[in-house]
Amino acid sequence: RIDKLKQRLYLEDRMAKTCVKLPFFISSLGCFLVAISILVPTERVANVHRRLTDHFGLSRNNLESIRSFGDIYDYAAAFEGANGELQATSAEYWCEKRYFELTWSD
């Protein structure tokens, strides 16, 4: 019975110390959230996501139109072309046209 009382007093002591630390933690967390919202504005991130969705054709209507394996391969080829347009090191910008040809190997 004394052991239980000792555990209870220890727990209450720890809770009191935690209650003192809690406001500092909450204020630090609040400052962190404000800083993140200033450094990474959600509107700009949303605009980037919207542009990437449009560029790669990732809208629900485009993806729902894929019904067969042929459609998957067509979409993969279109996706690869769109990806090449965004990569500065892609063959679109660095390979000479006489050495580069976009075909599937049989």
16-63 confidence digits (pLDDT tens): 999 999 999 999 999 999 998 888 888 888 898 899 888 888 888 888
Instruction: Return mean pLDDT, the chain.
Output: 85
Q: Is 90 helix (H, G, I), strand (E, B) or coil?
A: coil
Task: Give the predicted TM-score (pTM) of the model.
Answer: 0.50
Instruction: Round to whole Å and give the CA distance between 29 and 25.
Output: 6
Chain-centroid distance of CA 49 in Å reads 9
- Distance, CA of 12 to CA of 27 (rounded, Å): 24
Mean pLDDT of 83-102: 70
pLDDT for 103 = 66
Q: How far is CA 101 from the centre of its chain?
A: 33
Of 71 and 96, the structure prediction assigns the larger pLDDT to 71
